[in-house]
Structure 1
């Protein structure tokens, strides 16, 4: 049994050397995916008469992001700062979308917040941390020269330029 487990481990490990490290674009795409859930969050909260700002939930998200950062050997404080920026951007999207809902109705049914959205967001947060850790481990970092690509990739219609700049600045400061 031990011999079989060793062979399987060696087999799987041999393919990990072929895995390509994430690119800066991959990181930006993951962040954009996370933000793509925010209209569903806003609609769910509107339909269930919930406030957009939920400080106890935000504290949990920030704490879990720090824990995930440590798992990937990232500086927890820098990831918590990034998470706070993502929460601010997420709230901006939600407030702007909810403002639009005041003047136009929708028949759309949002994804369930507890069963669908939150698990997906947790997965994407971990994925973002994993990608950042792998990217930084290669010796690269997010640079000001990546700004144009970030602007093009992180493209939620409710994000302003200042929202994007805040997110990008926080990304630049993530450390191992």
Structure 2
């Protein structure tokens, strides 16, 4: 009897390991990625770098869309999502930098090249992997998911319009 119960429990747990992520888990990873943007803004302020770097944005979108295609996502449908993420990221950075004008900080940001960028790449790949798994499992993002998305993205520098644009782009992602 013990052996049968053990086999059953192991079998059930192994199915959970391969279960597609939930929308809430995907939204949480997107939020994690955006949570680095205050550090990015502070790093750029200290090093007198502009927030907008079109050349870097092109590289990010290219690498992210290639990663998405490798995970089985339609490359073109992901480009809009990554552009929306970049827009949200810049919105956070600009608003945070504006606050720094009247509320200076002595905080030190994590290093852009050795800490932040590697984390952003890892999280971006995780987002692609999770979205692909979710869609392959028959999932789709719908208007009923927006309330969870909106509350999960918790940066005080994101406004509803930023969140709506990002969510709308997310709903456009398709499998290859």
TM-score (norm 1): 0.90
1:116 matches 2:121: no
Deviations 1:111-167 (CA, angstroms, capped at 9, x unpaired): 000000000000000000000000000111111100100011011100010000000
Q: Gaps spanning 5+ residues in structure 1: where?
A: 1-14
Gaps of 5+ in 2: 1-12
Give the root-mean-square deviation of aligned CA atoms.
1.0
Q: Give the ranges of 4+ consecutive aligned residues of structure 1 lying more than 2 Å apart after TM superposition.
A: 15-18
Distance 1:96 1:125 in 2: 23
Q: 1:70 to 1:16 in 2, by over 3 A?
A: farther
Residue 7 of structure 1 corresponds to: none
Q: Answer yes or no: is 1:64 the counterpart of 2:63.
A: yes
Aligned to 2:162: 163
Q: CA deviation at 1:16?
A: 6.3
Shift of 1:80: 1.1
Could you state the TM-score of these two structures normalised by the residue count of structure 2?
0.90
In 2, distance between residues paired with 1:159 and 1:56?
A: 24
Cα distance, 1:17 vs structure 2: 4.4
Q: Deviations over 1:9-45 (max 9, x none)?
A: xxxxxx8644121000011000000000000000000
Instruction: Confirm or deny that 1:131 pairs with 2:120.
Output: no
The size of the alignment, in residue pairs, is 162
